[in-house]
Structure 1
Amino acid sequence: MIDISGKRILIVGAGFGQLPLIEKSLELDLDIIVIDKNPNAIGMKMVEKSFPIDIIDVDAVKNLAEEYQIDGIVTMQTDLPIPTIGAVNDFLKLNGVTYDTAIRCSHKMETRKALKQKGVDQPNFEIVESEHETMISAKKIGLPVIVKAVDSSGSRGITKVSSFDKISEAYKEAKKYTRLDVVLVEEFIDGIEVGAQAFSEGGECKLVLVHNDTLADGEFMVPTGHSFPSSLDSEQENNAIDTVKKCVEALGINEGPSNIDLIINKNGEAKIIEVGARVGATCLPELVYNFTGIDWVENTILNALGEKVNVFPIKKQACAAVILESLEDGIVEDILIPETINENINLLELEVTVKKGDKVSKLRKGTDRIGKVVCVESTYEKAELLAESIKKEVQIKCLKQV
């Protein structure tokens, strides 16, 4: 690999989701700048140059990027700053997602419009501006439907609605997490939910990796785990890969990683649910590495710096990950982890990101996760079972808030 030490990278965000980028950039000996609105975010303390700047303040980020003459700009596991990154890339003529593409990917309404224009398979949908219109659209599409904020990430503001008396609640939940005046109402497709990690370079989608998804029970559509390899048969998987490539092309994701959620319907057809022009969350970079040997985070950095990437698998190891979560809102009273857990050679990572006294929330959105378990095994089924069994052994006791 070409020596890139000393090149200047701007990492947008400093929370737990950005730590892999910060750690890899330190390993590559890059000149790192980190920004986050929260001056106490964990990543702010890991580098010499950190600035308390809101990641969606486009002008402030552009000014900082110009002042320091950065060579690349990156984020991962969140859609929120993607338009900011696109604007900086356009402004400084850097490699990566453009502003127009960022808008198409970050605003679910624009995603739906672009995919419809290019004829890419997706659910039926309606764009609404009021609770009354949400009800009309739900009746038109037919229950169950998905009501979602159009510009959020981390599964915020997304609700599955199975009865009309829940429409009002779902609409308010979506409005809570949007800065716009519209909300999406989408057809709920009964089928197999899977995801895909894709990587593009020079206008070509170089690789698509399809993985299994596990969602939280109940109305909040929050991913709780993933695994490789895909459970789909070869025909279904090839159809999913083709659909993802058409989707990426339709949205104009010509450079870097993308994270795609799909539903495989009863006819084996793949329908695009969500698209993010960034690395996936919920342990997906770790799983991609363990499954293929490809360092997704490093390649994301290289691509942002305009360097060649290497996204060719060198192995195929079944693996799975699940997140840790609190079963209720409250304050962490105690964390109990049996010492014998670490004796399992197939446990790769067990991470708890909260401590005693921290405030935690029941799982309603991706950022409510409080840790992770990553495992390998001979099959994805065994890896999933192992990850879930280890998760059950970790006891996080909470005091309910009054």
Structure 2
Amino acid sequence: MTHKNKHLLIIGAGVEACEGIRIAKEMGLKLVIADGNPSAPGLAMADWPIIASTYDGQAILAEVKKRQTQGVKIDGAIAMCADVPLSVAIVSNDLGLPGLSLESAFWVSDKLAMKKRLQAEGIPIPRFADVSDKSVLLKQAIKIGLPLIIKPVDSRGARGVQLIEIASELDSAWELAAKESPTSRVMLEEYLEGPQFSTETLVDRGRYYTLGFADRNYEWLPRTKPFIIENGGDAPTGVSANIKAEVIATVERAAAALGINQGVAKGDMVYTAQGAKVIEIAGRLSGGFFSTVQIPLATGVNFIEKAIKLALGEQLSDEDVSIKQQRAVAIRYLDLPSGKVSHIEGVSEASSVPGIEMLKIFIEPGSIIYPLANHTQRTGFAIATADDKAMAITRAQTALSKIKVVYEATNK
């Protein structure tokens, strides 16, 4: 199907979005791209840029309608590696485009509403409680039991998410979580033991195709807790085919329960002694270069292209959702001490390591590196492929080991 005369609204033009924006351009689409940062790199690829916060769906809609009066008819809307399903839904529902209902977009934007909906639909989830009223914090923590997770109801990038192992940590943890919530709402969740997974599912008129499946890596947790910082992930999974199938079945049931009938469902999943459980479901393309880079490398499927087709209301063929290959893929992040960066060495050598498919460094001379408290503070990563998973991980780690960050001297 030709896309030559079609127009796509993309919300989000940051570094991660660029890979997806390039794919949209290659599909022949004309692009209206919205981002609140005038310097966002993806805006350079826009046919019609919109400078508006990705969280302000009404402002984006108003700008889109201005362009429609100029003959720019929008055929689909999608968030590109940005957690803004409500913004997309505001536009798509007003213009009659494919996508989430406003109710569904709310469920996947608000972690408490999501848990309540999943619980009502019988989807296995951790025990949880609303503790926005701090006076009920200790009572609810005792009811759930330690260890537990405390998190903002409506934040992103693991901001304010903490693992609490002793009750004396609750008060200060609540304060941080509330500070990271735009609405000052906080919730508790049971801490679930077991391997965790990232999944990514294409949803075409109620049919589910889970093509992305990776094991999540939390080897940093003993050092970073109470903060829960993921150090990448890898595929193929190390669990059995039966466990993988159960996780996929559960994430697809959860997506249906949340009303995700067209588009993409991103799952954060765990396999416990009681079976597969849902941590969170997002109605959007994932970040971490999972949807844009890792899934295509692992499966041979251009995942972004298929997601764009769904946003345009096009039906996916069996060929579109057929896995073409099973290649081992790993992503690992830079692990750096705190300090002010003087200069960085070894980037070209790291990029030249066999099997390195992507290497990005997010710091530069003058950058200040802080102790990790959320995912937005990670300083760089390497994505590697190989014939087997262990080698892919080794290649990513080898590349990162070649990067040397020299720090400015501190005055004592």
Matched, 1:148 2:151: yes
Partner of 2:55, secondary structure, is: coil
Matched, 1:227 2:234: yes
Matched, 1:369 2:378: yes
Aligned residue for 1:284? 290
Task: Select between 26-35 and 96-105 the one with higher mean Cα deviation.
Answer: 26-35
Shift of 1:355: 2.3
Matched, 1:174 2:180: no
Shift of 1:195: 1.8
CA distance in 1, matches of 2:16, 2:369: 17
CA distance in 1, matches of 2:47, 2:207: 36
- Matched to 1:239, the amino acid is E
Aligned residue for 2:403? 394
CA distance in 2, matches of 1:331, 1:48: 38
Aligned residue for 2:333? 323
CA distance in 2, matches of 1:82, 1:325: 31
Percent of aligned positions that are identical = 25
CA distance in 2, matches of 1:64, 1:346: 43
Shift of 1:143: 0.7
Q: TM-score normalized by structure 2? A: 0.91
Shift of 1:48: 4.3
Instruction: Please list, as runs of the form range in 1=range in 2, the aligned pairs for 1:332-351 lying within 5 A after superposition.
Output: 332-337=341-346, 339-351=348-360
Shift of 1:399: 4.1
CA distance in 2, matches of 1:390, 1:308: 40
RMSD of the TM alignment (CA)?
Answer: 2.0
The one-character-per-residue Cα deviations of 1:29-82 (angstroms, maximum 9, x if unpaired) are: 321122222212222333342222111222211112223331111113332x21
The one-character-per-residue Cα deviations of 1:208-238 (angstroms, maximum 9, x if unpaired) are: 5321001342222232211111111122111
Partner of 1:33, secondary structure, is: strand
Q: TM-score normalized by structure 1? A: 0.93
Aligned residue for 2:390? 381
Given that 2:111 and 2:153 are in contact with CA atoms closer than 8 Å, whether structure 1 keeps it comes out as yes
Partner of 1:223, secondary structure, is: coil
CA distance in 1, matches of 2:82, 2:16: 8
Going from structure 1 to structure 2, the CA distance change for 1:369 and 1:7 (only over 3 Å counts) comes to farther
Aligned residue for 1:36? 35
Choose which of 92, 95, 119 in structure 2 pairs with 1:116. 119
CA distance in 2, matches of 1:123, 1:292: 31
CA distance in 1, matches of 2:27, 2:211: 26
Aligned residue for 2:70? none
Count of aligned pairs between the two proteins: 398
The one-character-per-residue Cα deviations of 1:326-376 (angstroms, maximum 9, x if unpaired) are: 432x44321111654344331112222332223444332222233221111
Going from structure 1 to structure 2, the CA distance change for 1:124 and 1:21 (only over 3 Å counts) comes to same
Partner of 2:162, secondary structure, is: strand
CA distance in 2, matches of 1:195, 1:334: 34
Task: Select between 187-196 and 64-73 the one with higher mean Cα deviation.
Answer: 64-73
Aligned residue for 1:313? 323
Aligned residue for 2:214? 211
- Matched to 1:378, the amino acid is D
CA distance in 2, matches of 1:98, 1:327: 44
- Matched to 1:49, the amino acid is W
CA distance in 1, matches of 2:162, 2:82: 19
Structure 2 unaligned residues grouped into runs of 5+: 68-72
Going from structure 1 to structure 2, the CA distance change for 1:366 and 1:77 (only over 3 Å counts) comes to farther
Aligned residue for 1:25? 24
Aligned residue for 1:198? 201
Instruction: Please list, as runs of the form range in 1=range in 2, the aligned pairs for 1:2-21 lying within 5 A after superposition.
Output: 2-21=1-20
Aligned residue for 2:260? 253
Given that 1:327 and 1:363 are in contact with CA atoms closer than 8 Å, whether structure 2 keeps it comes out as no
CA distance in 2, matches of 1:38, 1:360: 22
The one-character-per-residue Cα deviations of 1:186-215 (angstroms, maximum 9, x if unpaired) are: 000111112211110011112353210013
